[in-house]
Amino acid sequence: MIYEYYQRKIETKTKKQALGAVMNKLLRIIFSVLKSKQSFRLITPEQQVEMYQKILQKAA
| Statement: the pTM of the whole predicted model exceeds 0.75 | no
What residues does each domain of the chain span? 2-59
Banded model confidence at residue 10, pLDDT cuts 50, 70, 90: very high
**Taking the CA of residue 52 as centre, how many other CA atoms within 13 Å lie in the half-sphere pointing to its CB?**
7
Q: What digits encode the pLDDT tens for the residues 11-49?
A: 999 999 999 999 999 999 899 999 998 888 888 888 988
Distance (Å) of CA 53 to CA 19, 28, 36, 46, 57: 32, 23, 21, 11, 6
